[in-house]
Amino acid sequence: MKAVTRVGLVAVLVAVLGAACASAPEEEPERAPTPEPTTRQPEMLDHRNHKWGTPVPDWVTMEVDELEQLDQYEDYYVFRFESPRAQNLQGAEIWTQQFTAQSAITQEVENRVQTRFAGAAAGDMDLVENYMEQVVASVSDATVSGYRRARDYWVKMRYFDGDGNVEEDAYTYVVLYTIPQDTLDRMVQDALDRNDGSVESEEERTVRDRVKDAFERGL
């Protein structure tokens, strides 16, 4: 009887192991990693000084914070604008003629004021949110003065879609405007002082003072 039991147990184990082996999934062959799609960068086709054999000026591709580090703009705020893509040079030039610098610069100043508020207030933005909105509104209503068109340049670029195929060839104008730092700082400071009324708590006053100290260092 024991022998039968022993044989029966072995048979059960063999059956179980066999079933386990049969049910185990087969290992799939390793698949080659799918290459990440690469975006093809735009290519320069033409620019204002190309026919003279002169390269594109460095400032054309520089960001605003980089431009403001240049010696020539040491005492100025710089505002950089690009035209929408145009199919011909005349179309891009028309944009420069119709471009309203004052409203565009005002919008940029508002953005800088909001950024400065957010950075200075840090986690206490809720305490000065109304104050910021009042200051921004004052800046929006003010007349920005002292700005001048410093430079402009056109380029013709070839753009590509996500598959690397040519999407379009288009012209773009890049325009720089500058404003003396003293002029713009004074306008923003007036807006800060004009709206700095009563506060609801000492904590709010502390945060407001922190914001005003930050604006002492400019935009």
Q: Quick: pLDDT tens for 74-117.
A: 999 999 999 999 999 999 999 999 999 999 999 999 999 999 99
Q: Which helix (H) or strand (E) holds 154?
A: strand 148-160
Q: Are 43 and 158 in contact (CB under 8 A)?
A: yes
pLDDT of residue 200: 85
Task: Tell me: pLDDT of 30 over 90.
Answer: no
Task: Tell me: pLDDT of 14 over 60.
Answer: no
Read off the pLDDT band of 15 (50, 70, 90). very low
Task: Tell me: pLDDT of 9 over 60.
Answer: no
Task: Tell me: pLDDT of 58 over 80.
Answer: yes
pLDDT of residue 16: 36
Task: Tell me: pLDDT of 3 over 60.
Answer: no
How many Å apart are CA 51 and CA 31, to the nearest integer?
A: 51
How many Å apart are CA 10 and CA 4, to the nearest integer?
A: 10
Q: What is the mean pLDDT of the chain?
A: 86
DSSP state, 144? -
Task: Flag the least confident range among 9-23, 25-39, 69-83, 170-184.
Answer: 9-23
Q: Report residue 60 as tokens.
A: 């054309």
Domain boundaries, the chain: 40-215
Read off the pLDDT band of 127 (50, 70, 90). very high
Task: Tell me: pLDDT of 5 over 60.
Answer: no
pLDDT of residue 31: 67
For Cα atoms 120, 125, 128, give the angle at the middle one, nearest 5 degrees: 90
- Between the two ends of the chain, the Cα-to-Cα distance in Å is 96
CA atoms within 13 A on the CB side of 212: 16
Averaged pLDDT for residues 129-154: 94
